[in-house]
Amino acid sequence: MAAHALDRHVVLVGFMGAGKSSLGKQLAGRLARPFVDLDRVIERSGDAIPTIFERDGEAAFRAREAAALRDELLRREPSVIAVGGGAVETEDVRTLLGETCVLWLEIDAGAAWERVAGSDRPLARDADAFAALWERRQPLYAAVADATAADLDDLVLGAAGIHVERGAVAQLDAIVPGGGPVELVADVHVAGIHGVDVQLALGERLTRVHEVPQGEAAKTAAVLDRVWRDLRLGRDGTVVALGGGTTTDLAGFAAATYMRGIAWVPVPTTLVGQVDAAIGGKTAIDLPGGKNLVGAFHWPARAVLDPGLLETLSDAERRNGLAEVVKTGLLAGEPLWELPPAEQIRRCAAFKAAICLVDPRDRGVRNQLNLGHTFAHALEAAAGYALPHGEAVALGLLAALELSGLPEQAALVEQVLAPARPTLDRDAAWAALRRDKKAAVGRPRLVLLEAPGKPHVGVELPDEDVHAALDALIAG
């Protein structure tokens, strides 16, 4: 089984009536992939599935089903494939699923019967036999599945290898893929709060712990060099990163470059990390001239988002994370900041994960996730990274929304986030902005909004307009 669907087919399994076809089409749309309903592929031969069952028997149908799946999996372009409820009963199918990302759409027997009773499905004609069949197949679905899902957002998270669950930290030994050794990279402050629980959860797999500084002080060449030198993992090992976005950025980059790349699993302990920083495989360290200027794309083997870890956060740290929630809501065109905290995390993570699976190397639609960040990174660099990321993003959103001609949304950002203007060197901020990774020949390329839910990427405006917007964010 594959922990995520990057460059792999997604296969949906589940009992009759679970919604594999309808949700599969929606998932394919979110991931910009073709959708394949295996039952419809089989029926292209000219025979309806009930006819095949009645004329040739179930065994013959299962053989055709396995052959059809094999043909679809040979296609190079990753797709979303929905297979029949009984496909997992065939050993050949279970073997084929081993190189795909398998998502199990769960449904209870009663709900499934209500949906399919009276249809032409050959195995849905007797309620008792139907319930017994449901019972028999449950362990087969569990054995092949990489993740379970109840709705579209769950499917996206499963495809991205993201596990969202309160109390997930206690299950790390089972959640971290593979069976090889683990080394933990932890924020020194967070290690004092959650480190013991994480070490106990990892059990005998944990062989070494590396503590790193809090905040942007972790994202330096010196700290990275120390982590590289101290790592003792082989190619079968996994780096687990415990902390906020700075810790996951550092640890992910260390994993991306150590021995030309080993597996890593972020366990973010901040709201910023859970809704943004730990998702999508961007890893980096900072240079004096700019934020995240040296890094790599390295998709996590799994990302573990445990909302329970946020209960120890200060109000200020929560506000930092809320800036990314507001950004995501503006991009999605939904007031995600109004949701309960756990649902905020799930919905924001799913929104970002879908975009990153479509554009894992940030060459197209993923650019929209930089809404407000061109200004934010410039402010952070000019402040020597003493300005909290969330504060900088909130200010960056104000500038982007003003340049977008959306004063109502800018007022909303002021109301929800109330960012304070920092005092810092305006020339240093402008120099950092012109050096932004998205700049073209020294000219900033911005993400703006035509309207909530309608981002416009790669926008170039006159320098004087951008400079004025940046100046408006700085006190004095």
Q: How are the residues of the chain apportioned to helix, strand and coil, as percentages rounded to the nearest 5?
A: 55, 15, 30
Q: Cα–Cα distance between 262 and 247 in angstroms, integer?
A: 17
Mean pLDDT of 180-200: 97
Q: Which amino acid is at 289?
A: G
pLDDT at 1 over 60: no
Strands 162-164 and 182-187: unpaired
Mean pLDDT of 416-430: 96
Amino acid 439: pLDDT: 72
% of residues, the chain, pLDDT over 70? 99
- Coil vs helix vs strand at 76: coil
Q: Name the one residue in this structure whose structure tokens are 């900041």.
A: 337
Contact 53, 47 (CB under 8 A): no
Angle between helices 315-332 and 407-417 (to 10 degrees): 160
Q: Cα–Cα distance between 121 and 143 in angstroms, integer?
A: 25
Amino acid 193: pLDDT: 96
Mean pLDDT of 417-443: 87
Tokens of 106: 């769960």
- Nearest CA to 398 out of 370, 432, 375, 424 is that of 375
pLDDT at 88 over 80: yes
pLDDT digits (tens, 9 = 90+) for 267-306: 999 999 999 999 999 999 998 877 888 999 999 999 999 9
Helix or strand (DSSP H, E) at 32: none
Q: Name the one residue in this structure whose structure tokens are 């964010």.
A: 473
pLDDT digits (tens, 9 = 90+) for 452-470: 999 999 999 999 999 999 9
Amino acid 330: pLDDT: 98
pLDDT digits (tens, 9 = 90+) for 123-162: 888 999 999 999 999 999 999 999 999 999 999 999 999 9
Amino acid 85: pLDDT: 95
Mean pLDDT of 322-344: 97
pLDDT at 476 over 70: yes
- Paired with 304 in beta bridges are 163
Mean pLDDT of 442-458: 93
Amino acid 121: pLDDT: 86
Q: Cα–Cα distance between 253 and 248 in angstroms, integer?
A: 8
pLDDT at 109 over 60: yes
% of residues, the chain, pLDDT over 90? 87
Tokens of 402: 């003003």
Q: Cα–Cα distance between 353 and 103 in angstroms, integer?
A: 15
**Confidence class for position 375, pLDDT limits 50, 70, 90:** very high
Tokens of 452: 């909530």
DSSP secondary structure letter of residue 50: H
**Confidence class for position 46, pLDDT limits 50, 70, 90:** confident
Question: Which structural domains are found in the chain, ordered by start?
Answer: 10-160 (3.40.50.300), 164-313 (3.40.50.1970), 365-471 (1.20.1090.10)
pLDDT digits (tens, 9 = 90+) for 26-39: 999 999 999 999 99
**Confidence class for position 441, pLDDT limits 50, 70, 90:** low
Mean pLDDT of 245-267: 97
Q: Which amino acid is at 103?
A: L
Mean pLDDT of 99-121: 94
Q: Cα–Cα distance between 398 and 402 in angstroms, integer?
A: 6
Q: What is the DSSP string of 72-122?
A: HHTSSS--EEE--TTGGGSHHHHHHGGGSEEEEE---HHHHHHHHTTSS-T
**Confidence class for position 120, pLDDT limits 50, 70, 90:** confident
Distances (CA, A) of 3 to 45, 162, 255, 301, 352: 34, 9, 17, 6, 18
Q: Cα–Cα distance between 435 and 303 in angstroms, integer?
A: 31
Contact 305, 163 (CB under 8 A): yes
Q: 32: left (phi > 0), else alpha (psi -120 to 50), else beta? A: left
Amino acid 288: pLDDT: 83
Reported pTM: 0.94
